[in-house]
Amino acid sequence: MNSLVEKINKLKQEKNAVILAHCYQNVEVDEVADFVGDSLYLSRKAKETDADIIVFAGVSFMAETAKLLSPNKKVLLPRLEAGCFMANMINVESLREFRAMHKGIPAVCYVNSTADIKAECDVCCTSSNAIDVVKNLGSDEVLFLPDTYLGKWVESQLKGKVKVHTYNGFCPTHLRLRAEDVKKSRLEHPNSKILAHPECHHTVSELADFVGSTKEIMEYVRKTNFSEYTIATEKGVFDRLQRDYKNKTFYLLSEKLVCQNMKWNTLDDIYNSLLREEHEITLDEETSQKAMACINKMFEITQPVLVK
Ligand code: 13P
Ligand code: SF4
């Protein structure tokens, strides 16, 4: 066994730590991760754990969410550089301007946002539960931020029942895909099912066979028996599917589907982070309480999912 993996596992035991890894991480991270999954799954795991330390192999908003859900635990982000381009596209000032333009309409924020943005919104959502959150909120109109494409996708799935006003943020990784890439891929692999993340541009999602969160994409592959799948989300999902389903063929829709921020964390960084107990996530009390209310509202209005 890789000695670095052994060293990390030993440290985990000594310090009563868990490692949570998003499925866009470098695939080697899975060797030390206790749980690997999408944002919703990992936030539930952060809430449940009785570990003293959580090392979050992901990006900063995910580690912040873990801290909000487990305020008494030490939450570490292996690399401080691991931010999220989309989350950084909105700040409190621009959020307030957006809300002022649509007075009285509840604001739904995607979990891909900082704690101070969550603190000013009514309810949070992830890509797995965004449709249910917007539907269950019971309002004819909602504000959705920061991702315009996820917001518009939710609106289309609710078939005009809710008017969704979207902020103009986006994910640069998913926006690298064009409808032409999908059309080209169809010609090259006519029997392959194209699976896209709702952060993609709507012209891409409209051409896909299935649109869902990272977890839903992985579940689709698990539950279906097609022989070929084309993955239209970050490469980490493709890498894990290739590793886990040797009898199926996978194509990555574009080599450009790499989120540089998600790829910061290496096994070395995870080891150093746990050894030195750095870089710890800290949040001020007032922001935490308000952001927590926004996240709790999400859990309140959505069905509890069985966490494995
Ligand atoms: P999931 O909610 O599907 O895990 O996606 C997170 C993300 O950052 C997608 O870009
Ligand atoms: Fe943020 Fe996009 Fe990277 Fe997800 S893939 S972490 S939304 S920049």
pLDDT tens digit string along 178-207? 999 999 999 999 999 999 999 999 999 999
Residue 160: the pLDDT is 87
Quote the tokens at residue 89. 């596209």
Per-residue pLDDT band at 47 (split at 50, 70, 90): confident
pLDDT, tens digit, 9 for 90 and up, residues 65-109:
999 999 999 999 999 999 999 999 999 999 999 999 999 999 999
Residue 308 lies in a domain: no
pTM of the model: 0.95
Same domain, 296 and 253: no
Same domain, 214 and 230: yes
pLDDT, tens digit, 9 for 90 and up, residues 244-262:
999 999 999 999 999 999 9
Same domain, 68 and 107: no
Q: Pick the atom of ligand 2 nearest to 234's CA.
A: 5
Return mean pLDDT, the chain: 96
Tell whether the model's pLDDT for residue 307 goes beyond 70: no
CATH number at residue 60: 3.40.50.10800
Q: How remote is the CA of residue 168 from the centroid of ligand 1, in Å?
A: 18
Kindly state if the Cβ of 126 falls inside 6 Å of ligand 1. Answer: yes
Residue 64 lies in a domain: yes
Per-residue pLDDT band at 14 (split at 50, 70, 90): very high
Same domain, 139 and 203: no
- Number of independent structural domains in the chain: 3
Kindly state if the Cβ of 171 falls inside 6 Å of ligand 1. Answer: yes
Among protein residues, the one with the nearest Cα to ligand 2's atom 3 is: 259
Among protein residues, the one with the nearest Cα to ligand 2's atom 6 is: 84
Same domain, 34 and 98: no
Q: In Å, what is the CA distance from 280 to each residue of 33, 64, 77, 126, 275?
A: 18, 10, 7, 24, 12
Same domain, 225 and 214: yes
Per-residue pLDDT band at 304 (split at 50, 70, 90): low
Where in the sequence is the domain holding 184, given as residue range(s)? Answer: 174-258
